[in-house]
Amino acid sequence: MTPKDAVATAPITTTSTASPTTGWKRSVGNYVALTKPRIIELLLVTTVPVMFLAARGVPDLWLVVATLVGGTLSAGAANTFNCVYDRDIDALMDRTKNRPMVTGEITPRAGVIFGLALTVISTAWFVAFVNVASALLSLAAIALYAVLYTMILKRRTPQNIVWGGVAGCMPTLIGWSAVTGTVGWPAVILFLVIFFWTPPHYWPLSMAFKDDYANAHVPMLPVERGAIAVARQIVAYSWVMVAVSLTLVPVADMGWIYLVAALASGGLFIGEAHRLLHLAKQGAATKVLKPMRLFHFSITYVTLLFLAVAIDPLVHLSIG
């Protein structure tokens, strides 16, 4: 019996002392956990600012709410499918062993039904309250994460997070299309920023939890290559990411707020990447490398950069 089969047949354990109210809340909490809310928060951070840029000011607030609701449902669907498919390797990693699909509190069948329901609802929501273009991009994002990354790439190649990370770039296109009904060059540039940001964001996490991935036989780059090789790729992607972010200035006619934010936060990001490489060359242990320091800063970076994407058009509007 494989680990996945063992998890799939694991009984759902309940306690006789749990009240109906407690049981209901626990069930809801488990289904919410399948959607990975913390990941969704990061995705939404890249959606709303793009809407401000597309509108060159404050977009229609109802459209923003509708796009956020649809995006939340769509990302929740993709993450749910990921939890269902990865329940075998999640059971082998300390970081994920308590997920409800692993513990048996939610069955694979129930998880698939939940994911399909979120897919249908999110698509219908986008069509009804946003537009068809955003609905199609939302469906593409679900397929890219659930199929391309989770089912095809994750267990087969150390470059899994590079190409599989395309799904995480889609909110930039969805935010732009929600306002304009099309995909413009500024959205494409921000798509590429997230594309090149994803590896130096995720590889430090993989370095910190390298043993987990190795135990689960997931060929993340830090499992397959040494710390120096990984750090070199992190540095390379970081430089390209910052360079791409600066091309938004001429393409989208960005002002000094975005330029300063891109240079300052990008410079700090590159500095952190080089710090990691320097320590790796010295043969530092993982606890000295502190790869999670770059991981956490990468979230700060993308937040600051996209905040500037939203604020810059407002300043232009007030000056005009």
Residue 114 included in any domain:
yes
Last residue of a domain, one of 127, 162, 181: 181
> Can you give the CATH number for the domain in which 86 is found?
1.10.357.140
Residue with tokens 């709410």: 65
Q: Are residues 162 and 199 in the same domain?
A: no
Residue with tokens 């987990």: 212
Residue 4 included in any domain:
no
CA distance 118 to 80: 9
Q: Are residues 66 and 205 in the same domain?
A: no
Q: Are residues 67 and 89 in the same domain?
A: yes
Q: Are residues 100 and 120 in the same domain?
A: yes
Q: Are residues 204 and 65 in the same domain?
A: no
Which pLDDT score is estimated for 22?
Answer: 67
Residue 38 included in any domain:
yes
Last residue of a domain, one of 181, 211, 243: 181
Q: Are residues 65 and 37 in the same domain?
A: yes
Q: Are residues 150 and 264 in the same domain?
A: no
Residue 20 included in any domain:
no
Q: Are residues 131 and 200 in the same domain?
A: no
Residue 201 included in any domain:
yes
How would you write 61-127 as a 3-class SS string?
HHHHHHHHHHHHHHHHHHHHHHHHHCHHHHCCCCCCCCCHHHHCCCCHHHHHHHHHHHHHHHHHHHH
> Can you give the CATH number for the domain in which 237 is found?
1.20.120
Which residues does 47 contact at the CB level (< 8 Å), separation at least 6? 67, 68, 71, 171, 172, 174, 175
Tell me which residue of 23, 1, 3 sits closest to 12, measured CA to CA: 23
- Characterize 211-229 residue by residue with b for buried, 16 or more Cβ atoms within 10 angstroms of its Cβ, and e for exposed: ebbbebebbbbbbebebee
Contact indicator for 174, 71 with CB cutoff of 8 Å: yes
Which pLDDT score is estimated for 1?
Answer: 40
Q: Are residues 165 and 270 in the same domain?
A: no
Q: Are residues 49 and 60 in the same domain?
A: yes
How does DSSP classify residue 12? P
Residue 24 included in any domain:
no
**pLDDT per residue as tens, the chain (320 positions):** 444 444 444 444 444 445 555 678 888 989 999 999 888 888 888 999 999 999 999 999 999 999 999 999 999 999 999 999 999 999 999 888 999 999 999 999 999 999 999 999 999 999 999 999 999 999 999 999 999 999 999 999 999 999 888 999 999 999 999 999 999 999 999 999 999 999 999 999 999 999 999 999 999 999 999 999 999 999 999 999 999 999 999 999 999 999 999 999 999 999 999 999 999 999 878 778 899 999 999 999 999 999 999 999 988 665 54
Contact indicator for 220, 210 with CB cutoff of 8 Å: yes
Residue 149 included in any domain:
yes
CA distance 286 to 218: 19
Last residue of a domain, one of 181, 203, 225: 181
Record the tokens describing residue 305, joined without a space. 């950069």
Q: Are residues 144 and 191 in the same domain?
A: no
* Burial bucket for residue 15 (CB in 10 Å: 0-12, 13-18, 19+): exposed
Q: Could you tell me the residue range of the domain that residue 123 belongs to?
A: 30-181
Which residues does 305 contact at the CB level (< 8 Å), separation at least 6? 193, 245, 261, 262, 265, 266
Based on the structure, what is the number of domains in the chain?
Answer: 2
**What is the gyration radius of the CA atoms in the chain, in angstroms?**
21
Q: Are residues 163 and 190 in the same domain?
A: no
**Max Cα-Cα span within the chain:** 68
Residue 8 included in any domain:
no
